[in-house]
């Protein structure tokens, strides 16, 4: 099983790119948001260090990240790990990236922005009982 859930803060604003690929005789277009996540590593009762993890989110999640997340924001990212390799100075470098399938916001300001944008409405206390049908 390859499922990962981490929380951390963005080390910089997300980098947003659009792309197009030829797939099965058709062109597929999309968007990717890339960023580095600083994850606190806690051993015992004190923070020993931070782990830095490259992350990428595509299309719908990339749009949400582009609109609501910036440097310093804390998020919970869920997804799967993907191995990558590239050559630098004639040496092969191996790296791991988190491909994000789901994101949650930990900063209350971002939560409120997203909730308001998705049409959530506060129901005044006492009106909820009148709005719901009774089962009997």
Instruction: Name the nearest CA neighbour of 39 among 51, 55, 54.
Output: 51
Nearest-CA neighbor of 58 among 70, 50, 66? 66
- What percent of the chain is modeled with pLDDT above 90? 58
Strand extents, DSSP E, 3-125 = 4-10, 15-23, 26-43, 46-58, 74-88, 91-105
Q: 24 falls in which pLDDT band (50, 70, 90)? A: confident
Residue 43, both tokens? 């051993």
What is the model's pLDDT at position 136?
42
Domains of the chain by start residue, with CATH: 4-131 (2.40.50.140)
**pLDDT band for position 21 (50/70/90)?**
confident
């Amino acid at each position: 099983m390859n499922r990962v859930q981490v929380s951390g803060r963005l080390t910089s604003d997300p980098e947003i790119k659009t792309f197009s690929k030829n797939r099965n005789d058709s062109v597929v277009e999309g968007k990717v948001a890339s960023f580095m996540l600083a994850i606190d590593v806690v051993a015992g009762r004190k923070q020993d260090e931070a782990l830095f993890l490259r992350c990428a989110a595509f299309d719908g999640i990339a749009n949400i990240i582009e609109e609501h997340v910036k440097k310093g924001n804390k998020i919970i990212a869920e997804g799967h790990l993907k191995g990558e390799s590239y050559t630098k100075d004639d040496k092969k470098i191996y790296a791991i990236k988190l491909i994000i399938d789901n994101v949650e916001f930990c900063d209350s300001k971002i939560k409120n922005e997203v909730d308001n944008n998705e049409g959530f409405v506060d129901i005044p206390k006492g009106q909820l009982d009148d709005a719901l049908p009774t089962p009997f």
